[in-house]
Structure 1
Amino acid sequence: MKTRILQQIIPSIATSDGGGVKLRRSLGQNQSLRVDPFLMLDEFSSNNADDYIAGFPSHPHRGFETVTYMLDGHMLHEDHLGNKGDLKSGGAQWMTAGRGIIHSEMPQQESGRMRGFQLWINLPAKEKMKPARYQDIQPDEIPVLVLPDDGEVKVIAGYVELDGATVSGPIQGLTTQAVFLDMRLPAHSRFVQAITKEHNAFVYPYEGQIEIGTADQSRSLASQMAGVLSGGDRIEIRTTEQPAAFLVLAGRPLREPVEQYGPFVMNTRDEIDQALSDYRNGQLV
């Protein structure tokens, strides 16, 4: 088997979005920093309500999927069709915008910690105009695997193989075959996992530092940096003196042209122009 190595490091940058929510963006900070099929990864984390209280008021999307994964906090999702969903600590929402949705994500707390991630995943051309759909994932629906060294893996999408058994997350059947793992490893531990060789993959530590690759060919990756991995059919991740928490993300690349204008992601400029026209004319959905 070929172990993937750390090929590129994308430091996250401080920015804001929505009504002024402070966050850090790694993938997607410019349109050349993507890992097909992943378009963007934002991390938000603050104990100061002023950094998040304005939330994400109503805004449109077309042509891709958004994944919101909450570590701490409570947000309410609402859309123009009347759908509502609570997103609480440990839960996630997988939204396929498809041909269009206008929605908001607003904090339901006035104090305390708000921490989590939003990931954008591209849709293939043949699926960009399908109807919007949601999957609200409650914390108890996400499998948690305890590793031999007392580390743990939360399987949000895709699967993990451990001790000869395969454990699948609640999100399956995507064209991109996305894998989304949230991992915690104690100090001086090691995690090895098969990753389909046809998939692109990256890792994002949000607490501590990790080592990626075999012992004789490893590189360090600090927190709040996206580490893009080389080709291969497995990953090997280790911690040293301190524990670490990190995301592992992998997916089948679409290898299609990407034309993006803010919240619209299509394949051509004409399709972007059509999305803008549909939005202005109330025909986005």
Structure 2
Amino acid sequence: MTANTSSRRIGRIVRGMATSDGAGVKLNRVIGGQDLPMLDPFLLLDEFRSDDAGDYIAGFPEHPHRGFETVTYMLAGQMQHGDNKGNTGNLGPGSVQWMTAGRGIVHSEMPQQENGLMQGFQLWVNLPASDKMTAPRYQEFAASEIPQVALAGGGSVKVIAGTFDGVTGPVSGVATAPSYFDVILPPGSTLDLDLPAAHHAFIYVYQHALNVVDGPQQRQVKQGELAALTQGDTIAVGALDAEVRFIVVAGKPLNEPVARYGPFVMNTAEEIQQAFADFQRGLF
């Protein structure tokens, strides 16, 4: 792996924090906690992973959202979603749902299993002020609809959003022009990842550990750690002595004021108060 003047570096490394949400689902909160409240445009990143049904069985009963997007990526398990517009669907292993809450929606996400492993991620992506009151919409893709690029040295890159090696993911029409890759690298292999230079980006390792070229040195990012990256064109990474799995996510920063309270993310406190009033009046 080599570094050059346009290479990204590690800005900081953050460990997730154990928490719970919904009706008591146990989570590892990586963005949205005290150490990393947000990484514009990303407001929250939760990893859920448990084979104990008691950690997830209560799920996420009906709750509202306004002003941002939620992205659910399942690695293992079955989750059913539904909303107050009559939309329903099942998310299985390898599937993705990109939900634009826009001006308001009430939805639920409930496990469709009573035992076994439930694993995946939920990411919250902010919307620009001009899009916060847009009509809600879903983009939902089964595992078979998400392209996977085989790497010359072994391993693969699953392209959920953005473009890798000429292959573009199915998620489209998102204001922050995101990239979202799920990467598997076998022991000893390396990879150079190109990302839009001005986008904010991070790597989150969810299996084993990863070497990241950081200027003249290499730094290790361990399982359960997020590396927030500096801006640049390319980030160079490599597996150690075991297969490593990690996600790489990037998006265009909005550089707008953020007012957030629970499930509402707007630009001003007044807009948050209006969101509560609209929800209580049944306008979502």
Shorter-chain TM-score above 0.5: yes
Q: Does the residue aligned with 2:31 lie in a helix, a strand or coil?
A: coil
Aligned residue number for residue 198 of structure 2: 198
Aligned to 2:259: 259
Which of 155, 178, 181 aligns to 1:151? It is: 155
Cα distance in 1, alignment partners of residues 46 and 279 from structure 2? 25
Tell me the equivalent position of 2:209: 209
Aligned to 1:105: 109
Match of 1:173 in 2: 173
2-structure distance, mates of 1:94, 1:172: 10
Measured in 2, the distance between the counterparts of 1:250 and 1:215 equals: 20
Match of 1:10 in 2: 14
Is the contact between residue 14 and residue 36 of structure 2 (CA under 8 Å) also seen in structure 1? Answer: no
Shift in Å, 1:31: 8.6
Normalised by the length of structure 1, the TM-score is 0.96
In structure 1, what is the Cα distance between the partners aligned to 2:231 and 2:215?
Answer: 18
The separation in 2 between residues aligned to 1:194 and 1:264, in whole angstroms, is: 33
What's the counterpart of residue 57 of structure 1?
Answer: 61
- Report the equivalent of 2:274: 274
Q: Which residue of 2 aligns with 1:138?
A: 142
Q: Does the 8 Å contact 1:5/1:218 carry over to 2?
A: no
Cα deviation per residue 1:126-149 (whole Å; 9 max; x = unaligned)?
Answer: 000001000111111100111011
- Structure 2: which 5+ runs fail to align? none
* Distance in 2 (alpha carbons) for counterparts of 1:227 and 1:214: 11
Are 1:82 and 2:86 counterparts? yes
Aligned residues: 280
Q: Secondary structure at the match of 1:203?
A: strand
Cα distance per residue 1:210-235 (max 9 Å; x no partner): 11125832211111111100121111
Alignment of 1:37-56 (within 5 A): 37-56=41-60
TM-score by length of structure 2 reads 0.96
Match of 1:187, SS? coil
CA-atom RMSD in angstroms: 1.2
Q: Which moved more, 1:206-215 or 1:242-251?
A: 206-215
| Residue 82 to residue 171, structure 1, CA distance change in 2 (3 Å) | same
Kindly indicate whether residue 42 of structure 2 is the aligned counterpart of residue 72 of structure 1: no
Aligned to 2:282, the other structure's residue is in SS state coil
Q: Deviations over 1:242-278 (max 9, x none)?
A: 2110000001100000000000000000000000111
What's the offset of the Cα at 1:150?
Answer: 1.2
The 8 Å contact of residues 6 and 218 in structure 1, kept in 2 or not, is answered as no
Measured in 1, the distance between the counterparts of 2:172 and 2:135 equals: 18
Query: Which amino acid counterpart does residue 236 of structure 2 have in structure 1?
Result: E
SS at the partner of 2:192? strand
The aligned amino acid for 1:146 is A
**Aligned partners of 1:151 and 1:183 also within 8 Å:** yes
3-state SS of the aligned residue for 2:270? helix
AA partner of residue 181 (structure 2): L
Question: Which segment is superposed worse, 212-221 or 113-122?
Answer: 212-221
Give the match for residue 26 of structure 1: 30
Opposite residue 112 of structure 1, the aligned amino acid is: G
Per the alignment, residue 247 of structure 2 pairs with: 247
Residues in 2 aligned to 1:196 and 1:116: alpha-carbon distance in whole angstroms: 25
Q: Is the contact made by 2:154 and 2:189 (CA closer than 8 Å) also made in structure 1?
A: no
Percent of aligned pairs with the same residue?
50
Instruction: Give the aligned residue type for 2:81.
Output: H
Q: Is the 8 A contact 2:24 2:56 kept in 1?
A: yes
Question: Which residue pairs with 1:185 in the alignment?
Answer: 185
| Structure 1 residue 33, shift from structure 2 partner | 2.5
